[in-house]
């Protein structure tokens, strides 16, 4: 190979590498999201807020995954610049996967509530009454502390009263059991903050609880069509969702955060 061809080949290689590197965006704050490749779980609050950046002049792209773990895997593989997801699941993902960190700056604050069909206002009212009772007697706080907190995890397990009359039948809860600590599998059982709160609500209202695992994006439709009686999956109250379903009162405040490579 002559010198001219070798020089051209080397220059072409350098230009290709430079072009490849330039497509990566270092996300160090919310301000850096423009032009980044953002990963989200489909249908979540992170998806809703990330959509505001999609298609902008900076070339921001949003990749949607059926599970948060799939977005985390894509981030580790270098296919994404960041993942937007709820704070508590984010902590679990970072603990389980080396080389990732959560930005200190929060992305968005949100209120979690329970989704109920618009045609079932009686259930919404009943759940609100149960939530108020659980808030007043400290049960909501204890359930949360049992899953979140350096000194309290595992120390305050919720236990149903022995004398509950469940003659009202069964309430079906739709969830996505890949959202630790709100809902996740412990063996074959779905557990977590939302599962315990739902059980406590059923204990007050006199129902058996049945939890149905499904894709997050399918929960609202399942509530609308009566496949489940209510949806509970770390679900945020948004205007778009309120067009299709009703929400109970909020039972907790959460934060959307940004996960990025540690280096």
Crossing angle of helices 139-147 and 121-136, rounded to 10°: 80
Ordered by where they begin, the domains of the chain are 3-108 (3.40.190.10), 114-247 (3.40.190.10)
Distance of alpha carbon 2 from alpha carbon 115, whole angstroms: 70
* Order of strands across the sheet that contains 170-175: 208-213, 170-175, 230-231, 115-116, 246-247
Tell me what the mean pLDDT of segment 123-132 comes to. Answer: 98
Q: Are 124 and 252 in contact (CB under 8 A)?
A: no
Distance of alpha carbon 128 from alpha carbon 47, whole angstroms: 27
Distance of alpha carbon 126 from alpha carbon 248, whole angstroms: 9
pLDDT tens readout for residues 20-30: 343 567 899 99
pLDDT band at 156 (very low <50, low <70, confident <90, very high): very high
Tell me what the mean pLDDT of segment 7-18 comes to. Answer: 43
Crossing angle of helices 68-76 and 87-96, rounded to 10°: 50
pLDDT band at 100 (very low <50, low <70, confident <90, very high): very high
β-pairing verdict for 230-231 and 61-65: unpaired
* Helix residue spans in the chain (DSSP H): 3-22, 45-50, 68-76, 87-96, 121-136, 139-147, 193-205, 219-225, 239-242
Tokens of 11: 């220059």
Single pTM value for the model? 0.80
Q: Check the CA dihedral 240-246-249-251 and report its sign.
A: negative
Query: For residue 15, is pLDDT > 50?
Result: no
pLDDT tens readout for residues 211-253: 999 999 999 999 999 999 999 999 999 999 999 999 999 999 9
Tokens of 74: 């894509």
């Amino acid at each position: 190979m002559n010198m001219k061809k070798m020089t051209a080949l080397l220059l072409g290689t350098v230009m290709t590498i430079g072009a490849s590197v330039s497509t990566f965006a270092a996300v160090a704050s919310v301000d850096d999201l423009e032009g980044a490749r953002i990963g989200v779980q489909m249908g979540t609050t992170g998806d809703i807020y990330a959509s505001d950046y999609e298609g902008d002049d900076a070339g921001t792209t949003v990749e949607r995954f059926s599970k948060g773990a799939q977005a985390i895997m894509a981030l580790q593989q270098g296919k994404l610049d960041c993942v937007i997801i709820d704070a508590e699941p984010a902590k679990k993902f970072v603990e389980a996967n080396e080389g990732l960190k959560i930005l200190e700056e929060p992305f968005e604050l949100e209120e979690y509530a329970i989704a109920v069909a618009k045609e079932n206002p009686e259930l919404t009212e009943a759940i609100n009454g149960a939530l108020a009772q659980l808030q007043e007697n400290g049960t909501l706080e204890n359930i949360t502390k049992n899953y979140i907190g350096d000194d309290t995890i595992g120390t305050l397990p919720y236990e149903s009263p022995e004398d509950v009359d469940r003659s009202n039948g069964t309430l079906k809860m739709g969830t996505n059991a890949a959202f630790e600590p709100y809902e996740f599998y412990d063996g074959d059982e779905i557990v977590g903050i939302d599962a315990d709160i739902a059980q406590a609500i059923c204990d007050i209202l006199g129902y058996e609880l049945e939890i149905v695992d499904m894709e997050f994006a399918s929960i609202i439709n399942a509530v609308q069509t009566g496949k489940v009686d209510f949806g509970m999956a770390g679900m945020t109250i948004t205007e778009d969702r309120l067009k299709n379903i009703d929400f109970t009162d909020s039972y907790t405040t959460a934060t959307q955060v940004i996960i990025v490579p540690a280096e």
